[in-house]
Structure 1
Amino acid sequence: MTDRSLHLPVAAQPSLEALVDLARLGERRGYEFAWLPETWGRDAVTILATIARETDDIGLGPSVVNVYSRSPALLGQTAATLQEASDGRLRMGIAPSGPAVIEGWHGLEFDRPLRRTREYIDVMRAVLSGERVEYDGDIFSLSGFRLRCDPPAEPVPIDAAGMGPKAVELAGRFADGWHAILFTPDGLEERLEDLRRGADLGDRDPDDVRVTLSVTACALEDGDRARELARQHLAFYVGAMGTYYRESLARQGYADEAEAIAAAWANGNQEAALEAIPDALLSDLAAVGTPERAREELRKFEQLEGVDEIGIGFPRGASRDELEATIAALAPDEIE
């Protein structure tokens, strides 16, 4: 059976405790992991450390931290520390992000993202081994670092996120898992072929690469409200977050819709951007509506061969009550 996890809200929450409470709720309702995106608000490391101390069983990890704003050695140290804080419940999710974040927010050049991700995986594993780090890569040359604490007794899996064919191939070849977001069932099956090709290139078993798909979900008694929230969320990501999401949708057969959403958003017409999202696209990308409808929509993703875990993500505009209602309605203990 496919595991279910929580992709904690990307939207700012009123307090650190509010995020901890959501993770606790997920633990009580049987979710496998609590994944935390690092976006505009609080940093992921502090939140994950706090959640680790306030929970007992639920797995934890960032989905994702970028491979520019922290050095690879520092992320290795961070992984070792979070693994200790969580008593072995950590998975690290890393990814390049995109120019809008790396250049716009952090003032760094968005250069060679795939090679950089590969070298981060290498260096982080070297740090986590507890051995002296001697690394000579194309981007990073490191010498002399070694943890001054015991390395994790439980190895830390390092997952990579990506949407394009080469990024997914890289995950299959070098990472312990792949994090996928904004995929239709057909689109995901195409990228799973890239994952398997990468595993073959790395002389690995594809089944050893854990696939986590984040699905935007909203399960409310007011199904129209749930669908409107999902439309707002999708329009924002396609319209405001650079070209990656638009390009991914185009590869999945929705090029015209993606261009229409982006053009309307760029012109300041958010209402037109929402109207450019047809029901078919919303159904293909999300699990939203009444609780029964959302559960039915979620099943089509869970039935995909090669998917190990579904992360329940949330629309940016969802209120606290709407978050909790969705967590309850789609909890593993509600699976029939």
Structure 2
Amino acid sequence: MTARDVFLPVAAQPSVDALVDMSRQAEERGYGRVWLPETWGRDAVTTLTSIAERTEEVGIGTSLLNVYSRSPALLGQTAATLQEVSDGRFRAGIGPSGPIVIEAWHGVEFDRPLKRTREAVEIVKLVLSGEAVEYDGDVFSLSGFRLRCDPPEPAPGVDAGGLGPKSVELAGRFADGWHALLLTPEGLRDRLEDFERGCSLGDGDLDDKRVTLSLPCCALADRERARELARQHLAFYVGGMGTFYRDALARQGYEETADEISARWASGEKDAAVAAIGDDLLDSLAAAGTPEECRERIETFEAIDGVDAVSVSFPRAADRAVIDATMDALAP
């Protein structure tokens, strides 16, 4: 059975307490896990520690920590610590992010993202094993690092994010799972083939790996407001967050639309960028509308073979009332 998770808001929230309250609400409503992104607001590690201490059953996870702003050894220490404070409820999601975040915000060269992600995944898993880490890679070389505390038992899963065929294949080959986003049902099936191929190349067991889809959701009695909030969210990512999301949309057969959104956004015509997302595309990328419509739409994604969890994520402009209403309407 496909699990249903919550992807906590990307947009700034008034306090850590607000994110804790959302996580407790998710726990009460029966969601399996809350995932927290790390962008330009509160750091994910401190916030997840607060969530872990003030919840009891709901899983917690990072989606995603980038592999440039922390060393792989520190990522491993962090995963071990969050697994400890959550009593075994943690799952690590890591990935390269993109040049806007890495170069403009962190001041680090966005160099060899696939190689860096692969090596980071391997090193984090070595750290979590509790053994001394001897690693000689193209990006990282480590010698003698070892946890001074007992390694977590069980070790948390280490997932990788990715949009393109090679990055998804990498997740299947080296990580314990894949975090997917901005994918239509057909686009998701295509990438699942890449994930399965990677798993075969790595001699892994597909049954032991986990695919989690982050799906923009907005379930309101006011159908048009819900759909407009979802359109705005999608336009921001395709038009305002670099080329990765635009390319992902183009790869799925929407190149003309992706180019129009990107061009309109770049020229300051944001309303036109939002309007370029037609109803069919909106319904292919999100669950937005009345609660009944959204439940039907999310079930379409959950029924795709190979998807283990769907995370209910929220539009960037969603306020707390919209978040609460959506979370309640789509509770498992």
Superposition TM-score, scaled by structure 1 size: 0.98
Match for residue 178 of structure 1?
A: 178
d(CA) in 2 for partners of 1:172, 1:132:
25
Match for residue 287 of structure 2?
A: 287
Does residue 302 in structure 1 map to residue 321 in structure 2? Answer: no
**Post-superposition CA distance 1:179-226 (Å, at most 9, x none):** 000100000000011011101111122222200001000000101000
Match for residue 331 of structure 1?
A: 331
Letter paired with 2:71 = S
Runs of 4+ in 1 over 6 A off after TM superposition: none
Match for residue 258 of structure 1?
A: 258
**Post-superposition CA distance 1:222-246 (Å, at most 9, x none):** 0100000001101100111000000
Deviation of 1:46 (Å) = 0.3
Does residue 79 in structure 1 map to residue 76 in structure 2? Answer: no
d(CA) in 2 for partners of 1:113, 1:209:
22
Match for residue 164 of structure 1?
A: 164
- Describe how 1:136-155 pairs up with structure 2 within 5 A: 136-155=136-155
Match for residue 247 of structure 1?
A: 247
Does residue 197 in structure 1 map to residue 197 in structure 2? Answer: yes
Match for residue 319 of structure 2?
A: 319
Please say if residues 160 and 175 of structure 2, whose CA atoms lie closer than 8 Å, have aligned partners that are also in contact. Answer: yes
Letter paired with 2:172 = G
Equivalent residue of 1:254, what SS?
helix
Deviation of 1:50 (Å) = 0.5
d(CA) in 1 for partners of 2:54, 2:218:
26
d(CA) in 1 for partners of 2:207, 2:260:
38
Equivalent residue of 1:232, what SS?
helix
Match for residue 98 of structure 2?
A: 98
Does residue 107 in structure 1 map to residue 91 in structure 2? Answer: no
d(CA) in 2 for partners of 1:266, 1:62:
30
Please say if residues 230 and 315 of structure 1, whose CA atoms lie closer than 8 Å, have aligned partners that are also in contact. Answer: yes
Equivalent residue of 2:300, what SS?
helix
Letter paired with 2:199 = A
d(CA) in 1 for partners of 2:74, 2:67:
11
Please say if residues 35 and 63 of structure 1, whose CA atoms lie closer than 8 Å, have aligned partners that are also in contact. Answer: yes
- Describe how 1:25-104 pairs up with structure 2 within 5 A: 25-104=25-104
**Post-superposition CA distance 1:266-316 (Å, at most 9, x none):** 000111101111111000000010100111111110110110000000000
d(CA) in 1 for partners of 2:280, 2:40:
30
5+ residue gaps, structure 1, are none
d(CA) in 2 for partners of 1:200, 1:132:
28
d(CA) in 2 for partners of 1:122, 1:59:
23
Please say if residues 195 and 206 of structure 1, whose CA atoms lie closer than 8 Å, have aligned partners that are also in contact. Answer: no
Equivalent residue of 2:90, what SS?
coil
Deviation of 1:127 (Å) = 1.1
Please say if residues 173 and 199 of structure 1, whose CA atoms lie closer than 8 Å, have aligned partners that are also in contact. Answer: yes
Aligned length: 332
Letter paired with 1:116 = R
d(CA) in 2 for partners of 1:175, 1:327:
29
Please say if residues 80 and 155 of structure 2, whose CA atoms lie closer than 8 Å, have aligned partners that are also in contact. Answer: no
d(CA) in 2 for partners of 1:127, 1:185:
36
**Post-superposition CA distance 1:80-133 (Å, at most 9, x none):** 110000000010000000001000100111011111111111111111111111
Superposition TM-score, scaled by structure 2 size: 0.99
Letter paired with 1:73 = A
Equivalent residue of 2:253, what SS?
coil
**Post-superposition CA distance 1:145-190 (Å, at most 9, x none):** 1111111021110000101000000011010000000100000000
Please say if residues 73 and 127 of structure 1, whose CA atoms lie closer than 8 Å, have aligned partners that are also in contact. Answer: yes
Equivalent residue of 1:203, what SS?
coil
d(CA) in 1 for partners of 2:25, 2:244:
32
Equivalent residue of 1:150, what SS?
coil
Letter paired with 2:46 = T
Please say if residues 84 and 152 of structure 1, whose CA atoms lie closer than 8 Å, have aligned partners that are also in contact. Answer: yes
- Describe how 1:116-155 pairs up with structure 2 within 5 A: 116-155=116-155
